[in-house]
Structure 1
Amino acid sequence: MPPSLTRTLRLLLVGSVLALVTGLLTSAPALAAETTRPTAGSLKDPNLRLVGRWDRTDPRTYVGNWESPYVEATFTGTTVKATVRDTVTVYASVDHGPIQTFDQVSGTINLTPEPLAKGTHHVWLSYRTGEIPTCATWPAPCATFQGFTLDRGARTLPTRDRKLIEFVGDSITVGYGTGKTTVDSYSWLLGEKLGVDHTNIARSGACLVQLTNCFGLNENWDRTTIGGSTDWDFRRYQADAVVINLGTNDAGRGVSGTTFGEQYTRLLEEARARYPRAHLYAFENLRQRYPAETRAAVQARTDAGDRRVHFIDTADWLTAEDYVDGGHPNEAGHAKIADRLAPIIAPDLDVPLPGSTADRNIEFTGRWDTSDPAAFVPSWAGAYFTTRFTGTGVTLNQRDTIDFWVSIDGGEDVYYSKVSGDVDITPAPLAEGEHTLRVSYRNVAGSYKGDAVFQGLTLDPGARTLATPGRQPIIEFVGDSITMGSTSSRTTLTSYGWLTGEALGARHTQIAWGGGCLVAAADGCTGVSQQFFEAGDGRWDFGTYQADAVVVNLGTNDLSHNVTPEEFQTVYVQFLKDVRAVYPRSEILVLGTFSERYVPQTRAAVKAVRDRHTRYVDTTGWLPPEGLTDKVHPNDLGHQLITEKLVPIVRRSL
């Protein structure tokens, strides 16, 4: 072989080897990332939330200890399965729907025998633990978890951190005697109601004081397992609240008051050492055993300077019909306890009560006067609130008489006329699961009077509200009785502003006044150009929200109040500049009046502000005679015709 050919072959071979090595080195990080990325739903998935005292030493099987350990996840796709190792009774709920019971199962459990709709979903899985014979190897571990299995290509989503309540107790805290034990207990119901994490360090038959014939939480509450010898690593989680309900069984075992008080004080001291910032609640047991000693233990901690220790007086919380056997509450009894505990604990955790005016999951659209934290008042027309909630029923807490409309799960708006107090807005129970609610009060701006005051919602025991995902654009419609929807069948709800907002999937409100003018006329006509900046008894805080679009329709009434064309145009120019000052990024659409009054002046005002995001909209021919109730106000057809013209214009602006 010629030397030149040999050299060429040698160079080609070296080049090929270098290219191969370079390719391997280049792809190594990607391969490493691919092989180390955890499978969605697997034990390594950081988006899984495992609550309780879980043993994670075995990377293939996590073991939940004590009562009601649970795991939850938010996921995409249409199906979810869970895998457990040991035979156990499992409880699960998908999208906050009915709690499903899977009795004495092991291996892979299909939690969605009926596939879900495509989208984002939520699942939790818990166990019936500590109650013979639900765990085949009790008291050895049986709450085992080996991961969720999702659809191909599905993923889990991160969830925000939540407060945590730890419950310490006996069979009452466990939920003994109820159909589903722990998930029927007040501890589970309260945690779900407040939307916080919760765990049960409890065991049926437990005492506070360790005895030869009674399991004592004073020596066991800080252990990883029931009756185990391994200390729990409190770095794994920090409770924000600890509710201790003990003493029911100690009296029957002959524990003296002195011993009980000493051990209770010691337990509070240890809980404080483990949870430096938690609120500690000494729950007076329902049989009122050792109440003086329990109070004294709390007082001892208070005297030591601890300001986060509280005694809970439970006298008269329950009646005879709330018990299964005179000692253990039934489902209704547990629900009552949860409802009584919620307003005690929620403020200390800075968690709003679900359904209250402070509930951040209730979204208030429009201008609401929130100066009274217990009573929110909608200003102007078209103000409403929306929320998502769980459970089968909801009651609206209304102060005094008013009319309002209610839509549930996107259904038709139902009219409630002249109602007050606690108004049941689900007379027919809903299916268990997630629901949506919208309440719109009849406008009080103008001639109609009423008490549009929202004081909260009452949900089912254990039910709660849920955050509304995503952000919708906000549109304000500014005008007079036409914008309010006067003379249409449902006023605000059949007005072009409401219909346009709904068609665009936007939040919307009407800053409109029946009989209002653009100009505050000398004869007393309300000037919307001034009132636009007000709400309630004072100036509106435009930092509350920023409108994405403002649609203005003014001038119909000014002519009959002797407003000159020159004055109208001057005021309109200044008004548009003032709107721009409070909404620097909004699109402002100025409609010519449907009656064609002051049209040249309106067009000229828009031109004069020289703002490329302020535009004039010619409405000539939008409203035919058959679309009018009288010579001025649109009927339902008229508002619908206006909506059809306006929707594409506003859509382009958004």
Structure 2
Amino acid sequence: MPKGNPVQTTPHTTRLRRLTRTLPTLITAVLVACLLSWTGSSPAQAAPGDGSVSDPNIGYVGRWDTSAGTAAVPSWTGAYLQTAFTGTTVKVKARDAVNLYASIDGGPDVFHPGVRGTVNLTPQPLSAGTHTLRISYRSGDTVFQGLVLDPGARTVAPNIPSRLVEFVGDSITAGALTDRLALDSYAWKTGEQLGARHTQIARSGYCLVAQSGCTGLGTQFFRTASTGSQNWDFSRYRADAVVINLGTNDIGHGVTGAAFQSAYTKFLADLRATYPNARLFAVQTLKKRYVNETRAAVTARTNAGDSGVHYVDTTGWLTDGTDYEDGNGHPNEAGHTKFANRLAPVIAARLGDPASTRAAAPGQPGDPNIKFVGRWDTRTSTAYTPYWAGAYYRVGFTGRTVQLKQRGTIDFWARIDNGPVKFYDDVKGTVNLTPSPLSAGNHTLQVNYQVVAGSYRGDAVFQGLVLDSGATTSPPSAPGKLVEFIGDSITVGTTSSQNARTAYGWLIGERLGTEHTQIAQGGACLVAAADGCVGLERQFTKLNPNADTPDWDFSRYQANAVVINLGTNDVGHAVSSAQFQTAYTSLLRKVRAAYPQAWIFALETFRGRYVPQTQAAVKAAVDGGDSRVSFVDTTGWLGSGDLTDSVHPNDQGHRVIADRLTPVIAARIGT
């Protein structure tokens, strides 16, 4: 036997050696295999797809002890595992009573309290196909012993984000006092917003400096577990960013300012040696402890030539009395969400857009060959969501079939190879878009979802494509310009035959050969009215028309032209002329700040509302030095036959608007 592969000598192996002196090599190999089976030996590595602890299709995020081979144990809070699997059910094996969370297909994290043995995570079987699974442990006997799948089912390599953000801290970073602990913490929420893997090297009561019985993360961070002296093997993962939130507890253990600053400076240096290319973020504690010392440690590292260390000022991020669980600085769930909403953009600005660099299999969210047009929420790596009307995606693909994975029931339109647009009504699961297979070769696909608004509440969530075995994606054709349309139900296309697809904005974009977005919502006003009307002067800068946060990242696309059609609804919400003009002036400034080179078109509403105020806002912008703003007089564009009611254009009316407005835009942007 070769050195390093010893086999214990038994009567069986003695007989085998005698036989192999005379038998051919092939027979010898067979005998070896039989003998190993007979004596009960087995290889240590599991077969891919079997759901065991050592299955390579199961990804462990965080510091897991997998040395036992039959049990994986997470060593710090917030660790999780993820995989994909085929079949309609999945169960997890637990050694003893444990509290765990499980998310299937990007859905909510379902709590399973006090479970043990073989735990059924799918009491309602799933649709046939490939699904994703994420498991995280809360408390109890936190030991993962493998998965149980349907007969013939197997695990599949999951779509795991390439980036990882590590959070270092105490009870605040661990999510103490919240309902779901680690899952409610700002660290978990920030990682999810960034679409990155995330770890929480945190424990309640921990300090930076080891003193007076307080464990110091300045040294314990480098260990496998929150207790003990075994060093962690950092070759198992590399962090792209490390967020440090330490100092809240040190003051209660008599740590002086000088000792804290020295320890913080050393910790930053040690982190740099561990993660040579990571961005390091030193967060000001919410209770503002050791602020000057933390700043000085960052400055010391910067002066030493480390340009990848950044101080994060959290002043004003949370409000006393409303964002905390207690008087000791522990945020509640809303506070952690606010914290994450402020922190995620800070990290993203240093790392760049995670969506553009995320590793993804062909056809899955994060695949760089899929062109998402509009404002898509890409913070969850397995499910992308469009919130505004008229968002769509395009992609090229090979093979003869394509299917779309949908989480819940939705209406959508799909178009393959510039053929007819097909409507899919109330579908979910894995939807076959090619019941008649295509010819072999390269194809294109475009999909857009029914507008989720009013009484229609479909689940507009993209979870990926299913392609033929061996097929792949390719970049679609990419128009060089984009036109953005801002408005209400008229811009949405309400009452037209295909909503956003048959609205004037979509039609104009298609005629101009440009990308096009509809930042519009039914019932919206320009001014956020006291009676609840959504105000697009405020929400234009947001990812979601119905949420105050997060802000949209305008670096993700730049518009060449912006068309504003607002004011139809404000009259019914008691918005005064002065309020309207002020808000319109403000919106023009925001659009200009977002798109410095765009031409802005302010449309007269088709019902002629707030016309003098719209014109005055345009004039103020021009007089202020913005020469790329125009008022568009729409008088006489629509007749009674162009409307489905007294307000909303029908299909013919939208075509009439497109006939009149397309050349106006083309004359300015040169299409």
TM-score class, shorter: 0.5 to 0.7
Matched, 1:62 2:64: no
In the TM superposition, what whole-angstrom CA distance separates every residue of 1:571-593 from its partner, at most 9, and x where no partner exists? xxxxxxxxxxxxxxxxxxxxxxx
TM-score by length of 1: 0.54
Contact 1:56 1:62 survives alignment (8 Å):
yes
Residue 334 (structure 2) aligned to one of 332, 335, 358: 332
Find the counterpart in structure 1 of residue 220 from structure 2. 220
Please tell me the residue identity of whatever aligns with 2:233: D
Distance 1:204 1:220 in 2: 13
Q: Map residues 114-125 of structure 1 onto 2, 5 A cutoff.
A: 114-125=124-135
Please tell me the residue identity of whatever aligns with 1:235: S
Distance 1:226 1:473 in 2: 45
Find the counterpart in structure 2 of residue 269 from structure 1. 269
Q: Could you say which structure has the larger radius of gyration? A: 1
Q: Map residues 304-383 of structure 1 onto 2, 5 A cutoff.
A: 304-320=304-320, 321-326=322-327, 327-352=329-354
Matched, 1:153 2:152: yes
Find the counterpart in structure 1 of residue 530 from structure 2. none
Find the counterpart in structure 1 of residue 297 from structure 2. 297
Q: CA deviation at 1:74?
A: 0.9
Aligned residues: percent identity? Answer: 44
Contact 1:298 1:310 survives alignment (8 Å):
yes
Distance 2:410 2:232 in 1: 50
Contact 1:286 1:314 survives alignment (8 Å):
yes
Find the counterpart in structure 2 of residue 81 from structure 1. 91
**Of 200-209 and 77-86, the range deviating more from structure 2:** 77-86
Matched, 1:92 2:125: no
Contact 2:61 2:197 survives alignment (8 Å):
yes
Find the counterpart in structure 2 of residue 581 from structure 1. none
Q: Map residues 168-317 of structure 1 onto 2, 5 A cutoff.
A: 168-317=168-317
Distance 1:464 1:288 in 2: 40
Distance 2:243 2:45 in 1: 44
In the TM superposition, what whole-angstrom CA distance separates every residue of 1:469-488 from its partner, at most 9, and x where no partner exists? 54789999xxxxxxxx9x98
Please tell me the residue identity of whatever aligns with 1:37: A
Q: CA deviation at 1:127?
A: 1.2
Give the 3-state SS of the residue equivalent to 1:322 in structure 2. Answer: coil
Distance 2:475 2:71 in 1: 48
Q: CA deviation at 1:352?
A: 3.4
In the TM superposition, what whole-angstrom CA distance separates every residue of 1:364-422 from its partner, at most 9, and x where no partner exists? 769x7xxxxxxx7xxxxxxx9898968998643xxxxxx858999664579xxxxxxxx
Distance 2:376 2:195 in 1: 20
Q: CA deviation at 1:143?
A: 2.1
Q: CA deviation at 1:361?
A: 6.5
Find the counterpart in structure 1 of residue 551 from structure 2. none
Q: Map residues 404-415 of structure 1 onto 2, 5 A cutoff.
A: 404=390, 411-412=410-411
TM-score by length of 2: 0.53
In the TM superposition, what whole-angstrom CA distance separates every residue of 1:539-567 from its partner, at most 9, and x where no partner exists? xxxxxxxxxxxxxxxxxxxxxxxxxxxxx
Q: Map residues 423-438 of structure 1 onto 2, 5 A cutoff.
A: 438=448
Distance 2:45 2:64 in 1: 26
Distance 1:50 1:263 in 2: 31
Q: Map residues 379-418 of structure 1 onto 2, 5 A cutoff.
A: 395-396=387-388, 404=390, 411-412=410-411
Contact 1:68 1:199 survives alignment (8 Å):
yes
Q: 1:387 to 1:181 in 2, by over 3 A?
A: closer
Please tell me the residue identity of whatever aligns with 1:438: N
Please tell me the residue identity of whatever aligns with 1:338: A
Please tell me the residue identity of whatever aligns with 1:116: L
Q: CA deviation at 1:212?
A: 2.6
Q: CA deviation at 1:231?
A: 1.1
Q: 1:116 to 1:300 in 2, by over 3 A?
A: same
Q: CA deviation at 1:28?
A: 7.1
Contact 1:51 1:197 survives alignment (8 Å):
yes
RMSD between aligned alpha carbons? 4.7
Distance 2:196 2:57 in 1: 17
Distance 1:475 1:310 in 2: 38
Distance 1:271 1:312 in 2: 17
Give the 3-state SS of the residue equivalent to 2:336 in structure 1. Answer: helix
Distance 1:238 1:179 in 2: 30
Q: 1:245 to 1:468 in 2, by over 3 A?
A: farther
Q: 1:492 to 1:170 in 2, by over 3 A?
A: closer
In the TM superposition, what whole-angstrom CA distance separates every residue of 1:129-165 from its partner, at most 9, and x where no partner exists? xxxxx43xxxxxx421111111111122223552111
Distance 2:154 2:88 in 1: 11
Matched, 1:45 2:48: no
Where structure 2 has 5 or more consecutive residues not aligned to the other structure, the ranges are 1-21, 357-364, 394-405, 414-427, 429-445, 452-459, 478-492, 514-558, 562-649, 653-671
